[in-house]
Structure 1
C-alpha cells in the first residue's frame, strides 16, 4: 500500500457515501449507480426477507408453545437469539445503506443464567415481542416493499425483449393471450407498445427506486423501533458515557496533580533552595554562588518546559489557535514514522468535539508507532453531510491507516478502548479493520456541525 492508493481508497469511500445518499447534482453516472445499487439491494432483500422471516416466525411460535411442556425452555432462548440476530442484521443494513437508525433496546441477560432464567428474561423483554410482531409484517408488507423496487427496475427489460422480436418466442407466433402490463402482445405492433411501456417504467424506476427501497427501511423502523426503547437505550448510553467521562476527568486531574508535584513543583522548590544558598554565599563564595545561580536558571528553564508540556497535554495551544487540521499535522511532524495528513474541513467543530477528536487521533497514532511495526501512516480528516440521519446533519470522519502487521483490536487494556469511550461521550463511534498482516485502518466518526 502506498499513500496514493490509500488516498484514492479514502476519497472513493467519500464518493460512495455521496452516491448512496442520492448522488451529487448533475452527476448522471452517480445517479445510475445509485439506482442500480438500490435495485440490487432490493433484490437481495426480496430473497432473504421471506425465507428468514417465515422460518424464524414458525420456529418462534412452535418454540414458545413448547414452553408449556418444558422443551421450549431450552429451545426458546436459542430461537429468540436467532431472531435478534436477524433483526440486528436488518438494523445494520438500514443504517449502512440508507442511514435509517433503529437502535436495539434489549434488556441484558446474564451470561451465566440458567435456561429457565434466560428463557423467561427474554420472553419478558418488550423488545422480544416487537421482534416477533415484526416478523409477520416483514414477510408480507416488508416483502412487497422490497420486491417492488427490484421488479420496477427489472420488469422494463422484458418489454425491451418483446420489442426486439422475442415476443414470438413467448407467444409461439400465434398466441394472442400474452400481456405486458396492460399492453396485449399479439404482433410486432403490440411488442413495440410493450417496449414503449418498458421505457416509461424504466424512467419511473430511475427516479423512484432508491426512495421505494427507503420505504422498506422506514417500515422496518416503524415496527422494530420504539420511542420508549430508543429513549431507554439513549439513557443507558448517556449514563455509561457520563460515567466514563467522569472517570476520565478524575484520572486526568490525578495525572496533572502528579505531574505538577513530581515535576515542575519539585524543580521550583529546588530552585528556591538554591537561591537561598546563593543569598548566603554571595559575599563569602561568589564563585559557588554563580554556579548555583546557573543551576537555578537551568531548573527554571526545565520547569517552564515541563509546564508547557503539561499545558499542551491538557489543551494544545496549536489546537486552540489553528484548529484540528493543523493540530493533527503538528502531531504528525513529531512522529518517528513518515506520516501524511489530508484535511478537508470547511470550518471548525465545537471546542469539546475538536479536543476529543485531537486526543483520539493522538492515541491512535501513538498505538501505531508503538505496536504496528509500520513505516508509513496516512491520516484523513474530513466532514460530510449525512442526508439520511434524523439526529444530525454532519459527521466528522477521521481515518488513520498504517501499513503495519495488523492485529489491532478494541478490547480490555487496549488504548483503543479509551478512544472508544472518549468518542462515545459525543455519540461518536470507532471502527477498526486490522487483518493479520495489515494494513490497519482505524475510522472515527463524531456527529457535529462546523462553525
Structure 2
C-alpha cells in the first residue's frame, strides 16, 4: 500500500463543495450557501429519489422469489427458484453499484465471482447457494427498502418545504387572487385565523425556508452516507476476499523481487568477481610459466595478481553486504544504519530508539529501505544534510528519512520509490512521501514489528 503526500495533496482537481466546474463566485460563498446549488447535492438528492422505486422493485422481487422458493423446497423446484432469486439479487446489486458510482461517486469493486469446480446447471446452483456474496445481496435487497422509504420521505419533505418557504415572497399572491384568503394559513379555528400575509411575516417565512434549504443538502448527505456504507458493506467484495486478493498480489511482488535480486546477484558475480577471478587465474598461469626464465617479471605479475585478489575480495564483501550485512546480524539496526550513513555523500544523523530487535526479516527490510533512501539522497536530492530516525509505536516499526534537498520525489510508476513501496506493501508496510518542490523531503516507512 503506497501513499504519496506531496504538493497539492487533498485536492481533487476542482474546488468547492460539489467538485470541479463551480463558478468563481461560488468559491467565495460559504459552504452552507453554496451547497443547495452544487451538482453533488442534486446528484445525491436524485439518488435518494431513485432509491424508493428501486427499493420497491428489489424488495418485491426478493421477498416473492424467496418465499416461493422456500415454499417449493418440499419439491425439487424450490432449489432452482432460490438460486434464481439469489442470482437476480446479484444482478440488481450490479445496478445499485452503478447507481452509487454514477450519482454518489462511490467506487465499489465487483464482488468475487462464482467459482464452480464443475460445469452444468447443478454446479451453478450449488455455487450460487453457497456464495456468501449472494446472500449479502439478498440482505441488501431486503433492508434497503425500509431505509429508502425513510430517506425518501425525509429528503423530499425538507427539500420541498425549504424551497417552498424560501420562494414564498414570489408566490404568496396566489392565495388572495385564487384562494380567497390573505396568504398561507399558519393557524385557524372557528373564531380567528393567522395568515402569513404582511411583509414581516413573509420575510420571516423566507428566512425559515432559507435555513431549511441550506440544511437539506447536509441532511441528504448524511442519508447517502448510510447508503454508501450499505453498498460497500453488502454489495462489494468481502474483507476476506479482499485480503486474499491483496495476499496474491503481495506474493507476486515478493516472487518478482526475489527473482530480480537473484538476477542482480548473478550479474554482479558474472561481471565483477567472476571475471576478475578468471583474469587472476590467467595472470597466475603466465607468472608460473615465467617463474623459471624471468623471476623478476613473474614476481611483478604475482604482485599484480595479489592486488586483483584484494579487489575481488572487496567486491565479494560488497556483494555479501548487499545480500545481508553481517553487522546487521551481529549488532542490529543501530550499528548497521550508522555504517550505511557513513557511506552517504552528505552528513547523516542516525537515531535508533529501539528497546528490542524486530524479526530478522523485518530488520533486513528496514535496513535495505534506509539504504535505498540514502542512495537516492546521494544521487538526486542535492541535499547538504539528512537524518534517519527509527522507533517503535506499539506493534509497528517506524522509519523516517529526511533531507533538505530539492524535493519533488514521488511514488509515480517506474520510480525507485514505487518499487520500494511495492516491496513494503508485500509485508503489510506503508510508504508515505512528503516531498514538495524545493524541499524538504520527508519519507516515512511503517513496517509490522513481528518480533
TM bucket by the smaller chain? 0.5 to 0.7
Alignment-derived partner of residue 13 in structure 1: 12
Gaps of 5+ in 2: 1-5, 20-26, 189-193, 326-336, 345-368, 383-388, 401-407, 432-443
1:192 aligns with 2:208: no
**Residues 430, 446 of structure 2: 8 Å contact kept:** no
Give the superposition deviation at 1:447. 11
Alignment-derived partner of residue 45 in structure 2: 43
1:320 aligns with 2:359: no
**Residues 149, 213 of structure 1: 8 Å contact kept:** no
Higher RCO, 1 vs 2 (CA within 8 Å, ≥6 residues apart): 2
TM value normalised by structure 1: 0.53
Alignment-derived partner of residue 138 in structure 2: 132
Report which of the two structures shows the higher radius of gyration computed on alpha carbons: 2
Alignment-derived partner of residue 141 in structure 1: 147
Give the superposition deviation at 1:173. 4.2
Alignment-derived partner of residue 276 in structure 1: 284
**Residues 56, 83 of structure 1: 8 Å contact kept:** yes
Which of the residues 229, 240, 243 maps onto 2:248?
240
Give the superposition deviation at 1:162. 0.9
Give the superposition deviation at 1:245. 5.0
Q: How many angstroms apart in 1 are the aligned matches of 2:87 and 2:58?
A: 11
1:162 aligns with 2:168: yes
**Residues 156, 201 of structure 1: 8 Å contact kept:** yes
**Residues 46, 143 of structure 1: 8 Å contact kept:** no
**Residues 163, 209 of structure 2: 8 Å contact kept:** yes
Q: CA RMSD in A?
A: 6.1
Alignment-derived partner of residue 94 in structure 2: 85
Q: How many angstroms apart in 2 are the aligned matches of 1:92 and 1:428?
A: 28
* Change beyond 3 A, Cα 1:179–1:270: farther
Give the superposition deviation at 1:146. 6.0
Give the superposition deviation at 1:132. 1.4
**Residues 40, 150 of structure 1: 8 Å contact kept:** no
Alignment-derived partner of residue 213 in structure 2: 202
* Change beyond 3 A, Cα 1:71–1:216: closer
**Residues 117, 123 of structure 2: 8 Å contact kept:** no
**Residues 48, 152 of structure 2: 8 Å contact kept:** yes
**Residues 283, 301 of structure 2: 8 Å contact kept:** no
Q: How many angstroms apart in 1 are the aligned matches of 2:109 and 2:10?
A: 29
Counterpart secondary structure, 1:13: coil
Give the number of equivalent residue pairs: 349
Alignment-derived partner of residue 440 in structure 1: none
Which of the residues 54, 57, 71 maps onto 1:55?
57
Which of the residues 270, 273, 294 maps onto 1:265?
273
* Change beyond 3 A, Cα 1:27–1:400: farther
1:117 aligns with 2:127: no
Give the superposition deviation at 1:298. 12
Q: How many angstroms apart in 2 are the aligned matches of 1:418 and 1:126?
A: 36
Structure 2 counterparts to residues 323-362 of structure 1, below 5 A: 323=373, 327=376
**Residues 53, 139 of structure 1: 8 Å contact kept:** yes
Give the superposition deviation at 1:289. 5.5
Give the superposition deviation at 1:114. 2.4
Alignment-derived partner of residue 262 in structure 2: 254
Which of the residues 172, 179, 199 maps onto 1:174?
179
Give the superposition deviation at 1:352. 9.5
**More divergent stretch after superposition (206-215 vs 119-128):** 206-215
**Partner deviation per Cα, 1:256-296 (whole Å, 9 max, x = no partner):** 44234423331242243255347544844739966994998
